[in-house]
Amino acid sequence: MKRNTKITYDYVKYPYGSVLIETGKTKVICNVSIEETVPPFLRDKNQGWLTAEYSMLPASTHSRTRREVSSGKISGRTAEIQRLIGRSLRAIVDLTKMPGITAFIDCDVIQADGGTRTASITGSAVALAIAFEKLVRIGKIEENPMNELVTAISVGIVNKEIVSDLCYEEDSNAQVDFNIVMTESGRFVELQGTAEHEPFTYEELQQILSIAKTDINELCKNQKKTIKKWIKEEGHNYEKHPF
């Protein structure tokens, strides 16, 4: 993995969990807000819910990105990314351990240079872990409902070479492009891959997945280091926590 990733916790004051994740030049703020309510389809189900929203700020790209609220609807790309983030986080959360509670994950890209959706997932997992720990401490839930961490990374083939954590220029010129979401225990949540030009081989796919697993493990160590630092700063025993 060629780009450095830095995760800063408590970046915004008001959410239960907030991080700034920086992957190369890409910067995303991931906030977790909590409401004691659930969608209508979950009433009387004795469980909670988790959903996500994603947006790119106007100045996050070289040319100004128009706010989607101005057009009255979100784009297909934004809807796809929001669903991906939500699915990825729900995959590692036991919703029955947060009855009557909805976690809203807001991912705002403040600077984009490739990998914004994967950075959003990696950063949101940290923000969510911290938010749930705060809920436990104030007695809103009995235990942290996260079973493990989840992480994501992009891997592609650029100029016949497999590259991990693609920047915008590499992504724009990639012959093959994958977004891979994996849990801490090594299980896949999602594989999004396509050949932009030439088809890829089974052997190349194996190499892509192998590189993704190695780099995701490194990102997961970064996540755990950040959570551990936050827990210790709060004066609690890290060994008692699932991370």
Alpha-carbon distance of 224 to 207, in angstroms, equals 26
Q: How many domains does the chain have?
A: 1
Alpha-carbon distance of 232 to 145, in angstroms, equals 20
- Residue 68: the pLDDT is 81
Once rounded to an integer, what is the mean pLDDT over residues 133-151?
95
The CATH number of the domain where 68 resides is what?
A: 3.30.230.70
Is there a domain that residue 243 lies in?
A: no
* Torsion of Cα atoms, 98 then 90 then 50 then 105, to 10°: 120
Q: How confident is residue 54, by pLDDT bands cut at 50, 70 and 90?
A: very high
Is there a domain that residue 242 lies in?
A: no
- Residue 108: the pLDDT is 97
Q: Which domain holds residue 90?
A: 5-237
State which amino acid sits at residue 123: G
- In three-state secondary structure terms, 201 is coil
Q: How confident is residue 238, by pLDDT bands cut at 50, 70 and 90?
A: low
- Confidence (pTM): 0.94
Res 71 pLDDT > 90: no
Q: What is the 3-state secondary structure of 122-166?
A: HHHHHHHHHHHHHHHHCCCCCCCCECCCEEEEEEEEECCEEEECC
Structure tokens belonging to residue 7: 């995760």
State which amino acid sits at residue 167: C
Structure tokens belonging to residue 107: 């991912």
Q: How confident is residue 243, by pLDDT bands cut at 50, 70 and 90?
A: low
- Residue 234: the pLDDT is 82
Once rounded to an integer, what is the mean pLDDT over residues 76-89?
96
Once rounded to an integer, what is the mean pLDDT over residues 153-182?
95
Is there a domain that residue 13 lies in?
A: yes
Q: Which residues contact 96 (CB under 8 A, 6 or more apart)?
A: 46, 47, 48, 145
Is residue 113 within 8 A of residue 24, CB to CB? The reply is yes
Is there a domain that residue 217 lies in?
A: yes
- Residue 211: the pLDDT is 97
Alpha-carbon distance of 146 to 154, in angstroms, equals 24
**Cα 129 versus chain centre, distance:** 12
In the chain, % of residues over pLDDT 70: 96
Is there a domain that residue 224 lies in?
A: yes
- In three-state secondary structure terms, 210 is helix
Helix (H) or strand (E) holding 236: none
Is there a domain that residue 211 lies in?
A: yes
Q: Is 115 left (phi over 0), alpha (psi -120 to 50) or beta?
A: left
Once rounded to an integer, what is the mean pLDDT over residues 104-129?
97
Q: How confident is residue 70, by pLDDT bands cut at 50, 70 and 90?
A: confident
Round the average pLDDT of the chain to a whole number and report it.
93
Provide the edge-to-edge strand list for the sheet that holds 17-23. 5-9, 17-23, 26-35, 102-111, 49-56
- Residue 87: the pLDDT is 97
